[in-house]
Amino acid sequence: MHRSRNSASFGRASGFGGRKFKRNGNGGSYSYPKSISNQSRYSGGPKSELEGNTSIFIKKAVGNSSVDNYQTRYKFEDFNLVPALKANIAKKDYENPTPVQDQAIKPILEGRDLIGLAQTGTGKTAAFLVPLVDKIARDRGQRALIVTPTRELAGQINEELHILAEGLGIYSSLVIGGANIHRQIADLSRRPSVVIGTPGRLKDLVDHKHLYLGDFRTIVLDEVDLMVDIGFINDVKYFISLLPRPRQSLFFSATIPPKVREVLTAFVTNPVTVSVKKQNTPENIEQDVIKVVDRSKKVDQLHDLLNKEGFDKVMIFGRTKHGIDKLDSQLTMRGFRVGSIHGNKRQSQRQKILKSFKSDEISILLATDVASRGLDIDNVSHVINYDLPETYDDYVHRIGRTGRLNKRGTALTFVE
């Protein structure tokens, strides 16, 4: 039961209310487009295109995801990797690659450009990190740049890199907004083998000549569709214009809408395409709706739900920063162990809360859609859409926080 222990205490701050935001001219903060008024931000945000269509939130789990039926061609021991990397992979108890790893690692090791069509939760981070670590271990002159849309995803990639590169003397620099830029500048001056960053901070460092993209022969663009969605398309195009030739270009995206295709055509050359996207929502996630009988008692319904058996590790999504802050206060007062993350929270706060959730110090994580991509947290039992997502794509990315790597999960959506 979530109320069995006192709730953790965290500072509260505002954050993004949804995906439709843009970076301002100084590269450091974000604002809503003028078409979205203050009133709409604090009264539920822009109207969801999903209102009135509750059937899309109902789907019975029918076993594990269809990727279970995928027959892997390789085991990790089959790849020609340096011994220390193989040992680090074995420490993680990895034997058989996931489908995206099975298809991507070999062509990346061969130096091919690659397009990976894969949703989060498919193991795509290791699909590019394993061959990158091997490449750098064999040639210390190699440097890799990884660009990703959110701070959390950048941090998780950095953590996974440290695990895979243990004992190999491969160093990385994490350059993200909300963290000390002077420390990042000092890190970059040491010429780390891998730089992992978000577009806004990377652009600041490039513009001020602390980072020279001509030094990088391997480039990864991860979650490109989200980078385009949240207004980074011009930054991404700018980075591509500064990249050297020849280079190895690795491109990962869940979807390829027209604006993403613009980036793609300028980025890769004669690529191998890997796709493991089998269906819109995984078959191993039980999906259902919760009917709101009285809007004034909606939080009471959530309270009763969270006290049910099996709600052990829960992510709850709302659409506005104001709504998430309010819900954080309400659940904390009711004794639940809860924390919340927003785009405008200090990076140290976000990291502290995520660490607490991962280590089960808190059992409920509240988030706006800024966190719906890329968070890789083990054993999330339930995703609850307390507010409707703005689009179906947002819904897919939200519920993908549970049922990861073929485990069973449950997604519940409140509807009025």
303 against 346, higher pLDDT: 303
Q: In which band, very low, low, confident or very high, does the pLDDT at 59 lie, cut at 50, 70 and 90?
A: confident
Gap between the terminal Cα atoms of the chain? 27
- The residue out of 242, 259, 275 marking a domain boundary is 275
What's the average model confidence in pLDDT over 331-348? Answer: 86
Residues 344 and 385 in one domain: yes
Q: State whether 57 and 171 are in the same domain.
A: no
What is the average per-residue pLDDT within 50-55? 70
Please check whether residues 115 and 52 belong to one and the same domain: no
Least confident of 66-80, 194-208, 334-348: 66-80
- Whether the model clears a pTM of 0.75, i.e. scores above it, the answer is no
pLDDT band at 48 (very low <50, low <70, confident <90, very high): low
| Relative orientation angle of helices 321-333 and 298-306, to the nearest 10 degrees | 60
**Residues 114-161: tens digit of each pLDDT:** 999 987 667 899 999 999 999 999 999 999 999 999 888 899 899 999
Residue 100: band (very low, low, confident or very high) from pLDDT cuts 50, 70, 90:
very high
Q: Which residue's structure tokens are 């195009």?
A: 237
Helix (H) or strand (E) holding 40: helix 38-42
Residue 392 confidence (pLDDT): 81
The residue-averaged pLDDT of 382-388 equals: 94
Q: How many CB atoms lie within 10 A of CB 214?
A: 10
Is pLDDT of 46 > 60? no
Residue 409 belongs to a domain with what CATH number?
A: 3.40.50.300
Residues 154 and 19 in one domain: no
DSSP string, 183-226: HHHHHHHT--SEEEE-HHHHHHHHHTTS--GGG-SEEEE-SHHH
Q: Are residues 231 and 322 in the same domain?
A: no
Same domain flag for 253 and 108 = yes
- Among residues 225, 260, 275, the one where a domain terminates is 275
Region 401-412: mean pLDDT is 82
Q: What is the pLDDT of residue 83?
A: 96
Q: Specify the number of domains making up the chain.
A: 2
> For residue 358, which phi and psi values (nearest 5 degrees)?
-65, -35
Residues 61 and 73 in one domain: no
Its domain, for residue 226, covers 68-275
**Percentage of residues in the chain having pLDDT higher than 90:** 54
Between 375 and 349, the higher pLDDT residue: 349
pLDDT of residue 62: 59
Q: What is the mean pLDDT of residues 381-408?
A: 84
State whether 210 and 82 are in the same domain.
yes
Please say which residue of 275, 298, 322 terminates a domain.
Answer: 275
Residue 27 has a pLDDT of: 37
Q: Do residues 326 and 188 both lie within one domain?
A: no
Q: What is the mean pLDDT of residues 240-263?
A: 91
Q: Which of 30, 5, 76, 111 is nearest to 342 (CA)?
A: 30
Phi-psi region of 224 (alpha: psi -120 to 50; beta: other; left: phi over 0): alpha
Q: What is the pLDDT of residue 10?
A: 29
How many Cα atoms sit within 13 Å of 370 on the Cβ side? Answer: 25
Domain identity same for 221 and 250: yes
Instruction: Say how far apart CA 395 and CA 50 lie, in whole Å.
Output: 9
Select the more confidently predicted residue: 217 or 70.
217
Please provide the average confidence, as pLDDT, over all residues in the chain: 82
Residues 151 and 249 in one domain: yes
Shared domain for 98 and 172, answered yes or no, is yes
